[in-house]
Structure 1
């Protein structure tokens, strides 16, 4: 029993640190979401992604604490990352959509309920934002069509946030901080 005493102590300390990090992360994301008026479902997606990163990190440290050989552990982790890399390269859009979802959450002014126009020369995509998930951006166009776009596509295109009474052809942009129309050059 005494031989595992230090490992149990280190594990207990690591678990306390993990729960503290999870608590602080949850609190920070809730506060950020409240300040920026971000919907609860979008906050849950970001929370789940942060939990995944925290758990993977903690499991790696636990493996080292409990005596897994560091060389064998690095070979195992590099093999897993190589397989994941090949898998994500085959399905690159999955990884890019998850990344775009995080970027849309933290730094994009578009929110659920906004009336927007996606600046695409071939299509007139004007309507209201219905939902933003981990992979897709849902909107209802002015003519009643449900449109589903990948998050990476939305991030690549320019978005014009329209006022409620503004015509889709108007070239004025709304500053999301002041809600004032700015004339585009």
Structure 2
């Protein structure tokens, strides 16, 4: 019985071992990147988990192909799953956009926890310190003491001015010059 599925078992073992090494490398790369850019460990964990999910999905698809699921059956299964996921994401579009924005903030946006920022918006004057950035929200305390929670998708859409100094320090620096 085992000899009949020898090739499939061998390929499955190869995929699992390869997945293990890819996950180790991914973990090290994300850790090195986040230490280099001084990124919060909670944000690092979020990005690592999202990348793991992506790797597990790819490995699952590879296993389905190795074990010989017919293409027609596989395509019907995938299209059914994608239809359900599509409806769920359409109903919760903001969740998907916030997760995507969080990934973009992690890798390429210069805003860091502890930075003083100003959100450039014509209706509101939000200036304060970034306290935390999660998968869905950026938390900041304004100069007036208000706790503001901004969706990460809004942070990507709005202009952000990074100030990095308290107002008193900025006035003091101008006097010295």
For normalisation by structure 2, the TM-score amounts to: 0.91
User: For residues 12 and 49 of structure 1, what CA distance do their matches in structure 2 show?
Assistant: 24
Per chain length, whose mean CA-contact separation is higher, i.e. which structure has more relative contact order (CA < 8 Å, sep 6+)?
A: 2
* Cα shift at 1:165: 3.5
Q: Secondary structure at the match of 2:4?
A: helix
Paired position in structure 2 for 1:44? 45
- Per-residue CA deviation, residues 65-112 of structure 1 (Å, 9 max, x unaligned), is 122222101111111112111211121101100110000000000000
Query: Map of 1:1-20 to 2, 5 A cutoff?
Result: 1-20=2-21
**8 Å contact from structure 2 (residues 116, 164) kept in 1:** yes
Counterpart of 2:90 in structure 1 is 89
Q: Which residue of 2 aligns with 1:34?
A: 35
Counting helix residues as a fraction of each chain, which structure ranks higher?
A: 2
Task: Quote the residue 1:141 is aligned against.
Answer: 142
Matching residue of 1:68: 69
Any idea what SS the aligned residue of 2:59 has?
helix
1:21 matched residue in structure 2: 22
Counterpart CA distance in 2 for 1:163 and 1:53 is: 35
Which residue matches 2:115? Answer: 114
Displacement over 6 Å in runs of 4+? none
Matched length: 169
For residues 71 and 17 of structure 2, the distance between their equivalents in structure 1, rounded to whole angstroms, comes to: 24
Q: 1:156 matched to which residue of 2?
A: 157
Q: Deviations over 1:90-148 (max 9, x none)?
A: 21101100110000000000000101110011111111101101111111111111111
- Tell me the TM-score normalised to structure 1 length: 0.87
Give the corresponding residue for 1:59.
60
Instruction: Report the alpha carbon displacement of residue 60 of structure 1 after superposing the two structures with TM.
Output: 1.2
CA RMSD of aligned residues (A): 1.5
Aligned residue for 1:137, secondary structure, equals strand
